[in-house]
Amino acid sequence: MRADFLNSEPETPNAEIEVDPAAPDRFFNREMSWLAFNWRVLEQVDDERTPLLERVKFLSISGSNLDEFYNVRVAGLRAQTRAGVEGRSLDGRTASQQLQMVDQQAAALQDAQQRTWTSLRPLLAKQGIHVVGLSDLTVNDREALAARFNAEVFPIMTPLAVDPAHPFPFIPNMGLGIALHLRHRQNHETLTGLLLIPPYLDRYWRLADNPEGTIRFLPVEELLLLHLDELFPRFEATERCLFRVLRDSDLEVEEEAEDLMREFETALKRRRKGRAIRLKVSSDAPADLKGLIADQLEIDRSEMIEVEGVVGITDLSQLIVDDRPELNWVPYQPRLPERVRDHNGDIFAAVRQKDMLLHHPYESFETVVQFLQQAARDPNVVAIKQTLYRTSKGSPIVKALCEAAEEGKSVTALVELKARFDEAANIQLARELERAGAQVVFGFVDWKTHAKISTVVRHEGSEMVTYSHFGTGNYHPITARFYTDLSMFTCSRNHGRDAAKIFNFITGYAEPSGLEAVKISPLFLKQTLIECLEVEIAHARAGRPAQVWAKMNSLFEGEVIDALYRASQAGVRIDLVIRGICGLRPGIKGLSENIRVKSIVGRFLEHSRIVCFGNGHGLPSEGARVFISSADWMDRNLNRRVETLAEVTNPTVHAQIIDQIMAGNLRDEAQSWVLQPGGTYVRAEAPPGDELFSCHEFFMKYPSLSGRGRSGAADAPRLTQVTDKAEAPHAA
Rounded to whole angstroms, the Cα distance separating 165 from 209 reads: 45
Phi, psi of 718 (to 5 degrees): -100, 135
- Three-state secondary structure call for residue 678: coil
Residue pLDDT, tens place only, 26-54:
999 999 999 999 999 999 999 999 999 99
C-alpha closest to that of 411 among 381, 441, 385, 442: 385
Distance of alpha carbon 35 from the chain centroid: 15
Residue pLDDT, tens place only, 138-160:
999 999 999 999 999 999 999 99
Phi, psi of 90 (to 5 degrees): -55, -30
Whether residue 623 contacts residue 729, with contact meaning beta carbons closer than 8 Å, is answered with: yes
Distances (CA, A) of 647 to 28, 55, 473, 497, 512: 30, 38, 16, 14, 17
Quick one: average pLDDT of 170-192? Answer: 92
**Does the pLDDT of residue 128 top 90, yes or no?**
yes
The pairing of strands 160-161 and 129-131 is unpaired
Residue pLDDT, tens place only, 265-314:
565 555 556 788 899 999 999 999 999 999 999 888 888 999 999 999 99
User: Which residues have C-beta within 8 Å of that of residue 548, sequence separation ≥ 6?
Assistant: 533, 536, 564, 567, 572, 573, 574, 575, 611, 612, 613, 614, 619
Answer with the residue of higher pLDDT: 553 or 426: 553
Whether residue 570 contacts residue 546, with contact meaning beta carbons closer than 8 Å, is answered with: yes
Amino acid 284 reads: D
Q: Is 411 exposed, middle or buried (0-12, 13-18, 19+ CB in 10 A)?
A: buried
Rounded to whole angstroms, the Cα distance separating 509 from 211 reads: 67
Could you tell me the maximum CA-CA distance found in the chain, to the nearest angstrom? 92
Rounded to whole angstroms, the Cα distance separating 637 from 630 reads: 9
Rounded to whole angstroms, the Cα distance separating 171 from 478 reads: 30
Residue pLDDT, tens place only, 192-240:
999 999 988 999 999 998 888 899 999 999 999 999 999 999 999 999 9
Let me know the angle formed at the C-alpha of 521 by 643 and 388, rounded to the nearest 5 degrees.
25
Whether residue 307 contacts residue 280, with contact meaning beta carbons closer than 8 Å, is answered with: yes
| Per-residue pLDDT, 253 | 46
The number of beta carbons lying within 10 Å of the beta carbon of residue 640 is 16
Residue pLDDT, tens place only, 347-401:
999 999 999 999 999 999 999 999 999 999 999 999 999 998 878 788 899 999 9
Instruction: Outline where 88-227 has alpha helix (H).
Output: 95-126, 139-148, 220-226
Residue pLDDT, tens place only, 581-592:
999 999 999 999
The pairing of strands 555-556 and 633-634 is parallel
| Per-residue pLDDT, 419 | 57
| Per-residue pLDDT, 499 | 97
Whether residue 643 contacts residue 627, with contact meaning beta carbons closer than 8 Å, is answered with: no
Rounded to whole angstroms, the Cα distance separating 177 from 281 reads: 10
Whether residue 409 contacts residue 383, with contact meaning beta carbons closer than 8 Å, is answered with: yes
Name the pTM for this structure: 0.92
Whether residue 41 contacts residue 58, with contact meaning beta carbons closer than 8 Å, is answered with: yes
Catalytic residue of the set 450, 539, 607, 696: 450
What percent of the chain is modeled with pLDDT above 70?
Answer: 93
| Per-residue pLDDT, 729 | 35
Rounded to whole angstroms, the Cα distance separating 21 from 566 reads: 10
450 in active site: yes
Residue 415's pLDDT band, with cuts at 50, 70 and 90, is confident
DSSP string, 306-372: EESS-S-GGGGGGG--TT-GGGSPPP--PBPPHHHHHTTT-HHHHHHHS-EEEEETTB-THHHHHHH
Q: Is 623 exposed, middle or buried (0-12, 13-18, 19+ CB in 10 A)?
A: buried
Quick one: average pLDDT of 550-570? Answer: 98
| Per-residue pLDDT, 263 | 56
The number of beta carbons lying within 10 Å of the beta carbon of residue 317 is 17
Q: Is 589 exposed, middle or buried (0-12, 13-18, 19+ CB in 10 A)?
A: middle
Distances (CA, A) of 181 to 167, 196, 305, 677: 16, 15, 20, 52
Q: Which residues pair with 611 in a beta bridge?
A: 550, 627
Rounded to whole angstroms, the Cα distance separating 112 from 267 reads: 36
Q: Is 295 exposed, middle or buried (0-12, 13-18, 19+ CB in 10 A)?
A: exposed
103-108, long-range: CB < 8 A, 24+ apart: 103/302, 105/32, 105/35, 106/35, 106/66, 106/69, 106/70, 107/305
| Per-residue pLDDT, 211 | 81
Q: Which residues of 204-241 are buried (b: 16+ CB within 10 A; e: fewer)?
A: bbebeeeeeeebbbbbbbbbbbbbbeebbeebeeeebb
Rounded to whole angstroms, the Cα distance separating 633 from 646 reads: 15
Handedness of CA 671, 91, 473, 313 (dihedral sign): negative
